[in-house]
């Protein structure tokens, strides 16, 4: 396979692939997707329709039946679209069979297509083909999965923009700027005796600085972009009966977790995603942490600790109506040991102190809490009256976005892979500028610029390795 002059040796050819493209489970309609040069020839014998002797017009739905060619058994009543290359998702011939959306029906339809000689598609293989055939670049291909998995409106909007190529075109702008400088330098090196004048530092620095700014602008929004895409792992931690499950329900605005006045109600972690102004908040309600001999409770509490350990943010909940207990203090010690401490300046592992049951007489000494976590926001909430919940949400957004809300641009870099590549590219460009300013030979400068250019190409896929492509597309779902 070649893509923009690069040869990819991925273990795939133009063979014809097939998969169920709609979710497993029950739905009104289900789609079998077939792509490759034999797609028409493989499906046509299975498909009994009015004008059976000809392939229907491209890109139109045709009514008919899928018949098992061996047994002549009727498998399903369907609509089928034959779509002629190159005007298709993969740029290959594509056939889509729309059947009834039951798992057994779709499995039978897929089996019939495979029996005709198609191969079961790997995860993401349709989109891989779209990429290898040049219909999408890598950043666009990655956005397909982001779009499918988007959990908030902001996440969906960012993914759909990336799919339209907005990130790609900004990257190509920066690459174009860099390439212009490289071309001038290399022309003057390659043809010194011709009339190609050697560019001066004063000429080159402003252009390289432009590329530097273009990259810096993309990096500026990348922390914010990642947050919108990945969300925030938020564990609700505290001793039994302080109102953790009530808080989960309040933040989700549904009665998701069981709430009772019995301490030890929650025995296993409960995970749900709330939408916090576009940030997917992955909330984990946990079993109250307390010494216990009950083996079931012990396992639950181990899971609470694991949730705390893996969290970006901890909502540390206290019962505001009772003075701090030995258990509260033990939990605070544990969290500090996990790095959720005052001296831990990195805002990525943060504690929010929640004094719940604010509708009751308050009896917690807040001074003791603030001594341990002077910078942690402290919010009084009542899950009964709703008091303080908006403040709590505000505090979480504030923590999550502190120093990260840098861009109102439409284009936001949302993936860690892209952010990493941009950082490396920025280093190369910085190095090029430093060399220019030190009047080092221009071929030095050119090497750094080329490296920056290539690193940016990892994002769009021009310079991506087979291993990288394999890794990216294997995270896709089947049929995509
Ligand atoms: N039934 C169905 N629905 C679907 C898809 C699909 O493949 N099949 N998609 C896919 O996952 C998405 C739509 N994306 C698509 C993107 C490009 C093309 C395509 O055929 N592009 C041609 C241009 C076609 C034209 O202009 O008429 C091309 O780029 O050459 C099709 C679908 C979502 N819905
Ligand atoms: N007055 C008052 N009671 C509350 C509030 N929030 C929760 N409760 C009550 O506190 C009790 C325990 O609530 P839960 O949400 O089950 O507490 P929990 O922390 O999840 O408890 P475990 O799962 O046992 O660890 C229930 O009776 C709730 O109705 C509140 O804001 N004010
Ligand atoms: Mg609970």
Q: How confident is the model at residue 324, as a pLDDT?
A: 96
Q: Please, are residues 4 and 106 in contact by the beta-carbon 8 Å criterion?
A: no
Q: How confident is the model at residue 347, as a pLDDT?
A: 42
Q: Please, are residues 177 and 211 in contact by the beta-carbon 8 Å criterion?
A: yes
Q: How confident is the model at residue 193, as a pLDDT?
A: 73
Residue 472 domain flag: no
Residue with CA at minimum distance from ligand 1 atom 12:
89
Closest CA to 33 of 119, 142, 139, 102: 119
- Same domain as 244, residue 388: yes
Residue 479 domain flag: no
Burial of 473 (0-12, 13-18, 19+ CB in 10 A): buried
- Same domain as 397, residue 254: yes
- Same domain as 245, residue 344: yes
- Same domain as 259, residue 122: no
- Same domain as 213, residue 324: no
Q: In 10 A of CB 310, how many CB atoms?
A: 11
Ligand 1 site, residue 61, Cβ cutoff 6 A:
no
Would you say 408 is a known binding-site residue?
no
Ligand 1 site, residue 89, Cβ cutoff 6 A:
yes
Task: Look up the CATH number of the domain holding residue 334.
Answer: 3.40.50.300
Residue with CA at minimum distance from ligand 2 atom 21:
241
Q: How confident is the model at residue 340, as a pLDDT?
A: 83
Residue 35 domain flag: yes
- Same domain as 240, residue 110: no
Residue 474 domain flag: no
Q: How confident is the model at residue 197, as a pLDDT?
A: 79
Quick one: which atom of ligand 1 is closest to the CA of 94?
7
* Positions in the chain short of pLDDT 70: 1-13, 341-349, 403-410
Residue of 81, 89, 95 to mutate, ligand 1, most atoms within 8 A of C-beta: 89
- Same domain as 393, residue 312: yes
Query: What's the ipTM?
Result: 0.84
**In terms of residue numbers, what domain contains 107?**
2-137
Residue 407 domain flag: no
Q: In 10 A of CB 345, how many CB atoms?
A: 8
Residue with CA at minimum distance from ligand 2 atom 30:
357
Distance 49 CA to ligand 3 centre (A): 58
Q: Please, are residues 175 and 159 in contact by the beta-carbon 8 Å criterion?
A: no
Closest CA to 473 of 4, 96, 10: 10
Q: In 10 A of CB 245, how many CB atoms?
A: 25
What lies within 8 Å, CB to CB, of 100 at 6+ separation is 28, 29, 30, 76, 77
Closest CA to 301 of 330, 259, 337: 330
Distance 243 CA to ligand 3 centre (A): 7
Task: Report the predicted TM-score, pTM, of the whole model to 2 decimal places.
Answer: 0.85
- Choosing from 370, 401, 432, the residue where a domain stops is 401
247-267 pLDDT, tens digit per residue, is: 999 999 999 999 999 999 999
The three-state DSSP-derived secondary structure of the chain is: CEECCEECCCCCCCCCEEEECCCCCCCCEEEEEEECCCHHHHHHHHEECCCCCCCCCCCEEEEEEEECCCCCCEEEEEEEEEECCCCCCCCCCEEEEEEECCHHHHHHHHHHHHHCCCEECCCCHHHHHHHHCCCCCHHHHHHHHHHHHCCCHHHHHHHHHHHCCHHHHHHHHHHHHHHHHHHHHHHHHHCCCCCCCCCCHHHHHHHHHHHHHHHHHHHHCHHHHHHHHHCEEEEEECCCCCCHHHHHHHHHCCCCCCCCCCCCCCCCCEEEEEEECCEEEEEEECCCCCCCCCHHHHHHHHHHHHHHHHCCEEEEEEECCCCCCHHHHHHHHHHHHCCCCCCCCCCCCEEEEEEECCCCCCCCCHHHHHHHCCCCCEEECCCCCCCCHHHHHHHHHHHHHCCCCCCCCCCCCCCHHHHHHHHHHHHHHHHHHHHHHCCCCHHHHHHHHHHHHHHHHHHHCCCCCHHHHHHHHHCCCCCC
Residues 191, 197, 201, 204, Cα dihedral to 10°: -80
- Same domain as 387, residue 264: yes
Work out the percent of the chain whose per-residue pLDDT is above 70: 94
Residue 473 domain flag: no
- Choosing from 137, 162, 195, the residue where a domain stops is 137
Dihedral angle sign, alpha carbons of residues 281, 285, 290, 296: negative
Q: In 10 A of CB 60, how many CB atoms?
A: 11
- Same domain as 161, residue 109: no
Q: How confident is the model at residue 5, as a pLDDT?
A: 43
- Same domain as 278, residue 361: yes
- Same domain as 240, residue 95: no
Q: In 10 A of CB 361, how many CB atoms?
A: 9
Q: How confident is the model at residue 4, as a pLDDT?
A: 45
Q: What are residue 49's phi and psi, to 5 degrees? A: -145, 180
Residue with CA at minimum distance from ligand 2 atom 26:
261
What residues pack around ion ligand 3 (CB closer than 5 A)? 244-245, 265-266
Instruction: Give the Cα separation of 96 and 17 in Å (integer).
Output: 12
Task: Look up the CATH number of the domain holding residue 441.
Answer: 1.20.120.430
Residue 289 domain flag: yes
Task: Look up the CATH number of the domain holding residue 25.
Answer: 3.30.1360.120
- Same domain as 265, residue 187: no
- Choosing from 86, 106, 137, the residue where a domain stops is 137
Q: What ligand is nearest to the CA atom of residue 477? A: 1
Pocket of ligand 2 (CB under 6 A): 238, 240-246, 259-261, 263-266, 287-288, 356-357, 359-360, 382-384
Residue 466 domain flag: no
Bond preceding residue 326 cis, omega within 30 of 0: no
Ligand 1 site, residue 96, Cβ cutoff 6 A:
yes
Tell me how many domains the chain contains. Answer: 3
Q: How confident is the model at residue 8, as a pLDDT?
A: 53
CA angle, 466 as apex, 87 and 126 as ends, to 5°? 30
């Amino acid at each position: 396979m070649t893509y923009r002059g690069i040869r990819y040796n991925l273990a795939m050819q133009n063979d014809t692939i097939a998969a169920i493209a709609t979710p497993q489970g029950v739905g009104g309609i289900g789609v079998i997707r077939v792509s490759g040069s034999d797609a028409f020839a493989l499906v046509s014998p299975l498909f009994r329709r009015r004008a059976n002797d000809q392939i229907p017009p491209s890109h139109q739905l045709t009514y008919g039946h899928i018949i098992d060619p061996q047994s002549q058994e009727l498998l399903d009543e369907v609509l089928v679209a034959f779509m002629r290359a190159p005007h298709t998702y993969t740029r290959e011939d594509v056939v889509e069979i729309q059947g009834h959306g039951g798992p057994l029906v779709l499995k039978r339809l897929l089996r019939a297509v495979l029996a005709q000689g198609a191969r079961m598609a790997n995860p993401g293989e349709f989109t891989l083909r779209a990429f290898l055939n040049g219909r999408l670049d890598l950043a666009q291909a990655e956005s397909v999965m982001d779009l499918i998995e988007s959990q908030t409106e902001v996440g969906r909007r960012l993914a759909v923009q990336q799919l339209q190529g907005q990130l790609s075109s900004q990257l190509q702008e920066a690459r174009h700027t860099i390439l212009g400088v490289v071309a001038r330098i290399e022309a003057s090196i390659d043809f010194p005796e011709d009339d190609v004048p050697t560019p001066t530092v004063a000429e080159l620095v402003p252009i390289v600085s432009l590329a530097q700014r273009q990259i810096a602008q993309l990096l500026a929004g990348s922390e914010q972009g990642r947050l919108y895409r990945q969300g925030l792992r938020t564990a609700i931690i505290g001793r039994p009966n302080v109102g953790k499950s009530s808080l989960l329900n309040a933040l989700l605005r549904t009665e998701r977790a069981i709430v009772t006045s019995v301490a030890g109600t929650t025995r296993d972690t409960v995970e749900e995603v709330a939408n916090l102004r576009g940030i997917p908040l992955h909330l984990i309600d946990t079993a109250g942490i307390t010494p216990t001999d009950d083996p079931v409770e012990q396992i639950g509490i181990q899971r609470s600790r694991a949730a705390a350990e893996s969290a970006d943010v901890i909502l540390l909940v206290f019962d505001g109506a009772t003075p701090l207990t030995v258990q509260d203090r033990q939990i605070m010690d544990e969290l500090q040991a996990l790095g959720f401490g005052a001296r831990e300046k990195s805002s990525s592992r943060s504690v929010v102190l929640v004094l719940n049951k604010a509708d009751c007489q308050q009896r917690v000494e807040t001074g003791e809490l603030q001594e341990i976590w002077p910078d942690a926001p402290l919010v009084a909430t009542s899950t009964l009256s709703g008091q303080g919940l908006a403040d709590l949400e505000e505090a979480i957004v504030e923590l999550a976005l502190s120093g990260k809300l840098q861009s109102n641009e439409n284009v936001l870099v949302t993936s860690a892979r892209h952010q990493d590549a941009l950082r490396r590219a920025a280093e190369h460009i910085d190095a090029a500028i430093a060399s220019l300013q030190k009047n080092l030979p221009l071929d030095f400068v050119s090497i750094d610029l080329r490296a920056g250019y290539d690193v940016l190409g990892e994002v769009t896929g021009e310079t991506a390795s087979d291993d990288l492509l394999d890794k990216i597309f294997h995270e896709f779902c089947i049929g995509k």
